[in-house]
Structure 1
Amino acid sequence: MNRWIYRTKKWCALAVFAMLIPHGYEAVRQTVLGWPRKEAQESVISDAYIVKKQSFEAGSLLSSWNSAGSASGASSVLRAQNTSTAVVAGQAPGVQTSPDAGSVSPQTSNSGVRVIYSAGSSQTKVGPGAEYSPVTTVTTPITGYLGGSKLNLLANQTASQMLSVLIETNQGKLIMIDGGVEEDAQHLIEVLAARGGQVDTWLVTHPHSDHIGALNYILNHPECGITVNNIYYSFADISWYQQYEAYRADTVQMLMNTFAALPPEKLHGDIYKGQEIQVDNVKITVMNLPYLFSNNAINNSSVAYMLDINGKKALFLGDMGEEAGRQFLADNSPESLKCDIVQMAHHGQYGVSKEVYQVLQPEICLWSCPQWLWDNDSGSGLDSGNWFTLDTRRWMAELGVPYHVCIKDGDQVIQ
C-alpha cells in the first residue's frame, strides 16, 4: 500500500511540474518516455523475459538481384590526414593517440594495434522510432547465390544477442565465425557434428562472451567430438582489457587460458591487415587489426573479415562501433569494401555509422539480433528500449538494401 501511495504522489508531482514550470512538459516527457535517449550500452534482456519468435512464410526471391538499388547517394570516405605519432607520458613508445576526434590515419599491413582516445560516441537518440521506414526479413534458404557453398546464420538458443556463422565450402570444409554464448554451444555442436565435426578455420572477431562463449566451451570439452584445426584472432594485452573494460577482462583471460592449452600450431594470433587465408574455394581477407579506442573498447577492437565465396563477397564486422567504423573507412578504399553480404555491426545497433553501409553497398544484410532487439522492445512493446535497431533499419530502407535475414526467424541459410 505504501508503494502505491508513493507512486501516486510521484505522478501528481510530475503533473504539477509539467503544468507550472517552463519547459516542464518536455522534461517530464523525457523522464517518462526515456527519449531523447542517452547512449546505449551493450546489454542483454534478462532470461526471465521470454522471447517469442515470429513465424514467417517462406517468400520467394527475385531470380535477378537488384544491384542497382543496393545503395543510394554518393559515398564519402574520411580522408587520412598527415598527423604525427604522439607518445603519451607514461605509455610505451609506439602507442599512438589521435590528435583530435575527427582525425584518422590509415592502418597499413605492417602497423600494430593503436590506442586512440575518444571523448565518447556521437550517437544519441533524438526521437521516437515511429518515423522509421521499416525493412522486413525473408526466411531462407536463399538458393543459387553462393555457387555451391553455403552460409549458415545460426540462431540464438537463449534470449541473448549473439553471433554464430558457419560457412561450408564447395568441398565441404567448415569455416566458423565467432559462435555465440556458452549456452549456444550445444546447438552449434549438433550443427557441426552433422557436417563431420571438423572445423578447418575458426575466425574470432573480438573476445566478448556473446561471440566466444561457445568456442571456449567446445575447446574445453573434447568429448563433444568437435575438432578445430586453426583459430585466427588478434587480441591486445590483457592489461588493456583490464584498463578499459575491466568487468569483462575475466572473459578475455578465460579464453586466453584456453588457447594457451592448445597445440601452438592451431593458433594464429599474429594475423595482419591484408592477410589472405585460402580454404578451398573461399578466400578470407583480414581487413584490419584491432582499433584500441578507450570508448566502447572491446567492441571497437573487432577484427573484420572479408570472405570471397565464388565471387560473392561477405563482410563480417563483428561489433565495430562508430569510432572503429570511421577508422575502417580511412584504412580501406571504397572499392575494397564493396560487398554482397554484410553482417550488421554490433547486432544491428550502436555499431558503425550509416556512411559505412553506404560504401559497402550490400544486397543482403545479416542481422544477429533476437526479436526483442529487432523491435527495440525492452518488454513494453515496439521501440520501448534504448537500442538503436530501428534507426539502423531505417538506414537500410533509405539505402535500398533489398534482402534481410535475421536470427529472430531461426537458423538462416544462403547457398
Structure 2
Amino acid sequence: MDNKGNRQPGGNGWKKLAVLELVLLLVLCCAAGGVFYLRRKAARAQKDSARREWTVTQYAGSGDGLQSMFYSITDTAGHLVVIDGGWEQDEAAVRQLLQAYGNHVDAWIVTHAHPDHVGALNAILADNETGTDQKVDIDTIYTVEVNRERYEATAKDYDVVSAYENFISHTEKLSNVVYLKDNDTLDLIGLSMKVFNSWNEKVDAMKNNLLNNGSLMFRISGEQNSMLFCADVQSQMESDILAEHREELPSDYIQLGHHGNWGLTMDFYSQVNPKAVFFDAPSSVIDNEQENYDGYQLRDELTARGCTIFRWGSAPNAVTLR
C-alpha cells in the first residue's frame, strides 16, 4: 500500500507530527513554568526569611534619677510595637519614634499603669481626644485588668493612683483594648507571645505592691531567639511563676524585674539563664551602694555569670530576634 498520501499536508503523518510538536511545546512550557514557579517560591521564601527578623530596642528615660520603661519591637515590614513608654515628660521621645512609623502602632503593650510606664501614653491618648494633628493610630492596646477597689484601698503615695485613673478614663472609651490573663498567647507581628503573669487572685490578697506584682510578665519568641519581659513583677510572685512556667522561662534576653532593683531573685534569673540583660534605671539607682538599693548586687552577679549588661548609658540598646 502506498503511504505517500499520509505524508501530505492534512494526512495522518502530518497530524501525528503536529500532535508530537504540540506535546513537546506543552512539556517545554510546563518545564519553564515550573522553573519560574520554583524561582518565585525561593525568592518569596528568602524574602519571608528576611522578614522573620525583629529588633527589640530599649530607650533611656528622661533622667533626673527617675527609673522608667520604654521599648519598641520593629520588623523589616514596617510594623511597630511599643511597650509602656515612660513618664509624661518622655512623650516627645516617644513621639519621635512614632513619627518615624507614620504615627501608626500595631500594638501598644501597657505592662501596668504606674506613671513611669504609662505617663507618655496617657498624654498621647489625651491629645488624640482633642483632635490633635499628631493623632496616633493604635490598632490594639494590650494591658492587664486591675481590681480597682483593691488597688485604691492598698495604694501608697509612690503608686500615684491618678496615673492609673487617667489611663482608665482614656481607655474605657476605646474599643481596641484587650486585657491579658495568665497563659494567654497571641501573635505579635509574627512573634509568639505568652503571658506568664498578670493581675490575679494572689495579687488581690496582697497588702502592698499590687500594681507591680499584677503587671504583665510575658515572653516573645521567634524560631531561634526569645526575650522575657518582667515589667515590675517582684519576688512575691516567683513561686507561682516558677511552678507553672519553669520550663518555659529560659530566654536569650531579659528585661529585669522592677528595673533591676528590688525585683526578682538570682534563683529566678538562673532559671531564665539569659545571655544579655536590660536594666531600666539610671546609674544613681543601679550603682548606688550607699542607700537602700540592691541593683548593684544584681549587676555584679549577672556580670560574674558572663551576661552582657545593657544600661541607659549606652541606650538606645537593641537586640535582634530571629
Per the TM superposition, whether the score is higher than 0.5 is: yes
- The whole-number CA distance in structure 2 between the counterparts of 1:199 and 1:169 is 12
Residues 1:325 and 2:238 aligned together: yes
Partner of 2:265: 353
- Residue 309 (structure 1) shift: 3.3
- The whole-number CA distance in structure 2 between the counterparts of 1:239 and 1:410 is 38
Residues 1:239 and 2:149 aligned together: yes
Residues 1:287 and 2:192 aligned together: no
Residues 1:153 and 2:66 aligned together: no
Partner of 2:209: 296
2:69 to 163, 167, 172: 163
Q: Residues 144-179 of structure 1: CA distance to partner in whole angstroms, max 9, x if unpaired?
A: xx9632111011123211000000023221111111
Partner of 2:136: 226
- The whole-number CA distance in structure 1 between the counterparts of 2:74 and 2:113 is 24
- The whole-number CA distance in structure 2 between the counterparts of 1:170 and 1:328 is 33
Residues 1:403 and 2:308 aligned together: yes
**Counterpart amino acid of 2:60?**
A
Q: Residues 92-149 of structure 1: CA distance to partner in whole angstroms, max 9, x if unpaired?
A: xxxxxxxxxxxxxxxxxxxxxxxxxxxxxxxxxxxxxxxxxxxxxxxxxxxxxx9632
**Counterpart amino acid of 1:390?**
Y
1:158 aligned counterpart, secondary structure:
coil
RMSD of aligned C-alpha atoms? 1.8
**Counterpart amino acid of 2:79?**
K
CA contact (8 A) 1:284 1:305 kept: yes
- Residue 221 (structure 1) shift: 1.2
Structure 1 residues 331 and 260: alpha-carbon distance in aligned structure 2, compared to 1, 3 A threshold: same
CA contact (8 A) 1:204 1:233 kept: yes
Greater fraction of residues in strand: 2
**Counterpart amino acid of 1:230?**
T
- Residue 289 (structure 1) shift: 2.5
Partner of 1:335: 247
Greater fraction of residues in helix: 2
Partner of 2:177: 267
CA contact (8 A) 1:342 1:365 kept: yes
CA contact (8 A) 2:197 2:214 kept: no
- The whole-number CA distance in structure 1 between the counterparts of 2:252 and 2:148 is 35
1:221 aligned counterpart, secondary structure:
helix
- The whole-number CA distance in structure 2 between the counterparts of 1:406 and 1:314 is 16
- The whole-number CA distance in structure 2 between the counterparts of 1:175 and 1:277 is 13
2:170 aligned counterpart, secondary structure:
helix
**Counterpart amino acid of 1:282?**
L
2:277 aligned counterpart, secondary structure:
strand
- Residue 295 (structure 1) shift: 3.1
Structure 2, unaligned runs of 5 or more: 1-50
Partner of 1:276: 185
Partner of 2:102: 196
**Counterpart amino acid of 2:153?**
Q
Structure 1 residues 302 and 280: alpha-carbon distance in aligned structure 2, compared to 1, 3 A threshold: closer
- Residue 250 (structure 1) shift: 2.3
CA contact (8 A) 2:52 2:190 kept: no
Equivalenced residue count is: 259
CA contact (8 A) 2:256 2:279 kept: yes
1:183 to 71, 74, 89: 89
- Greater C-alpha radius of gyration: 2
Shift >3 Å, 4+ stretches: none
**Counterpart amino acid of 2:76?**
N
Superposed, which structure 2 residues align to 1:18-33 within 5 Å?
none
Residues 1:311 and 2:224 aligned together: yes
Partner of 1:258: 170
CA contact (8 A) 1:281 1:310 kept: no
- Residue 245 (structure 1) shift: 0.7
Q: Percent identity?
A: 23
**Counterpart amino acid of 2:185?**
E
Partner of 1:42: none
- Residue 287 (structure 1) shift: 1.6
2:94 aligned counterpart, secondary structure:
helix
Structure 1 residues 205 and 280: alpha-carbon distance in aligned structure 2, compared to 1, 3 A threshold: closer
Structure 1, unaligned runs of 5 or more: 1-145, 377-382
TM-score, normalised by the number of residues in structure 1:
0.60
Structure 1 residues 147 and 394: alpha-carbon distance in aligned structure 2, compared to 1, 3 A threshold: farther
**Counterpart amino acid of 1:237?**
N
**Counterpart amino acid of 2:172?**
A
CA contact (8 A) 1:182 1:217 kept: yes
**Counterpart amino acid of 2:229?**
F
